[in-house]
Amino acid sequence: MQFKLSGAQSPLLVSGLPFSLAFTVAARIHGPLAPEKLNGALERLRRRHPLIAVRIAAGEGGDCFTTVGVPPIPVRVTERASNDDWLREVEREIAIPFDYRVGPFFRCIDLRGRDTSDLILVFDHITADGRSSIYALRDLLRLLADDSLELDPLPPPRLADLIPPPMLGKIAEVISAEPGITPDMNVWHPEAAPAQPLRVIPFAFDENETAVLVSRCRVEGVTVQAALCAAFALPFAERQPDVPFRYVETPVDIRPRLTRPPGEVFGNYISLARIGLDCSSGRDSWEIAREARRAIAAVTDEQLFTIPIILMAVAERPLSAPPINVIYDLSISNLGRIDIPDQYGPLHLESIFGPTLNVSLPGHRILAVTTFGGRMRCTFASRDPEAAQIVRRAREWIAVMLKSKD
């Protein structure tokens, strides 16, 4: 099976990336998980979601993703000695890039204990987004629970075939103004090496805390995403009181905005929006959250469909690669409530952490949020030496927000 590449997904460009685009979803599972079952289920999973197991075929009848000649999905089984072992594996795995010419763009780590396993699924952002990773996790658990189950294949359509015609016109206008050049890989290299090693900080809210936060957000007329934007922007304003205006990036799922929503197809269907928040000292934190809600709601389709990651996924010719600039304090990737079962035959899914993404620059920080089983769980990936203080202070702001009214 073959999938046509865009011009910006040329082997020259993606094979020369000097950093990893890997991200993980970590799931804690109770119940029997035999190695032979996992290998068999992964083979059936790649038939369900073809983009999980592809390589880049350069010059083989045109550059494309292909499922032909792709090795089996790599599985590494290691002993699970403690509840925190998964974190070490996540930090290690997201920093390791995939070999795009060999494939697949997916691997699996099984931290195995006597009755509990931490299953870490590693994806690549070129072919997958956070929501797709949840579909893959759910389908893998379904396949693990039933050795005879075969799920119908869901081949991905081209993104260009799903974008509304008015937006395709806007995209064409932007692309036509972009000079066609041979990609210069130097623009992808950070000017300075990361000052600190990558660190992932996990934290979670119990069921009561999660329920109170959701309820309070409804009362205040904001989304949980907007409340998180306020709580995590405020620590940066406190660090730099002379720069109270802060910026937050929020990924936006564009599936509902497409002409044919792809449903549970595995692929990458996100755009990015950057919002600015006035975090001046003395401002009410819920008012900042309302400002965040308004800013997110005001993002237009034209803004979402004409950013570089969409242009580069649609363009038929190479575009100039944008330089790596982090022009926001952090990115908050919130998948919201994960509405999948917690029981799969003898297997019980306890928790999900992710999507935890690699960060390549000292100022790059990503908060990943999922809500599953009534609990909100987060990871904060960063190379910032003050990452722990940022997380601590943001959590304190959330506590203040929840106590600010009776």
pLDDT, position 254: 94
% residues pLDDT > 90 (the chain): 69
**Cα 97 from Cα 95, distance rounded (Å):** 6
Q: Which H helix or E strand runs over 5?
A: none
Provide the sign of the torsion angle of the four alpha carbons 253, 257, 262, 268, taken in this order: negative
Task: Name residue 220's beta-bridge partners.
Answer: none
**Cα 265 from Cα 249, distance rounded (Å):** 25
pLDDT, position 58: 75
Alpha helices in 261-324 (DSSP H): 285-297, 301-305, 308-314
Pairing of strands 330-337, 365-372: parallel
- Contact yes or no for 371/337 (Cβ under 8 A): yes
**Cα 149 from Cα 140, distance rounded (Å):** 11
Cis status, amide bond into 104, omega within 30 of 0: yes
Domains of the chain by range and CATH? 2-145 (3.30.559.10), 164-403 (3.30.559.30)
pLDDT, position 189: 46
pLDDT, position 101: 87
pTM of the model: 0.92
pLDDT, position 397: 96
Q: Where are the beta strands (DSSP E) in 94-142?
A: 106-112, 116-124
Backbone Cα Rg of the chain: 21
Q: Which H helix or E strand runs over 3?
A: strand 2-4
- Contact yes or no for 287/220 (Cβ under 8 A): no
Residue 87: phi and psi, rounded to 5, are: -65, -40
Q: 55 to each of 4, 11, 62, 153, 160, how far by Cα in Å?
A: 12, 10, 13, 18, 21
Nearest residue to 44 (alpha-carbon basis) of 112, 145, 125:
145
**Cα 96 from Cα 20, distance rounded (Å):** 6
Nearest residue to 236 (alpha-carbon basis) of 290, 197, 291, 288:
288
**Cα 68 from Cα 66, distance rounded (Å):** 5
**Cα 234 from Cα 397, distance rounded (Å):** 8
Start-to-end C-alpha separation, the chain: 59
- Contact yes or no for 334/249 (Cβ under 8 A): no
Give the chain's residues under pLDDT 50. Answer: 181-192, 406
Structure-block tokens of residue 353? 């952490």
pLDDT, position 191: 46
